[in-house]
């Protein structure tokens, strides 16, 4: 079972546990909470050299909801839908 969080830019669902698999430009694993903060800022672009997501919007309502949830909490388990 996946626990989906959504990109605040395109609304694409991502498994929350994928935040454990974020690496910096030197292939060093980024701590989970740091990855969560980067996800809140850049969305699913964190898996693309930590650039801001520029994917086409797939679900505007989920993107807006994700943005609000990320403003209210720094904890990805509270971003679930």
Give the pLDDT score at 23: 92
Positive/negative CA dihedral, 22, 53, 71, 63: negative
Give the pLDDT score at 57: 97
Positive/negative CA dihedral, 31, 29, 79, 43: positive
Q: Smallest Cα–Cα separation from 69: which of 43, 30, 46, 47?
A: 43
Give the pLDDT score at 36: 97
Tally of structural domains, the chain: 1
Rounded Cα distance, 41 and 68, in Å: 12
Query: Chunked in runs of 10, what are the mean pLDDT values of the chain (81 residues)?
Result: 89 95 91 96 92 96 96 94 73
Give the pLDDT score at 81: 73
**Residue 58 belongs to domain spanning:** 4-78
């Amino acid at each position: 079972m996946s626990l989906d969080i959504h990109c605040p830019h395109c609304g694409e669902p991502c498994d929350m546990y994928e935040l454990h698999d974020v690496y910096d430009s030197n292939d060093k694993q980024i701590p989970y909470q740091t990855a969560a903060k980067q996800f809140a800022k850049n969305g699913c672009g964190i898996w693309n050299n930590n650039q801001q997501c520029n994917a086409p919007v797939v679900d505007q309502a989920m993107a807006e909801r994700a943005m609000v949830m990320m403003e209210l909490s720094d904890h990805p388990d509270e971003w679930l839908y």
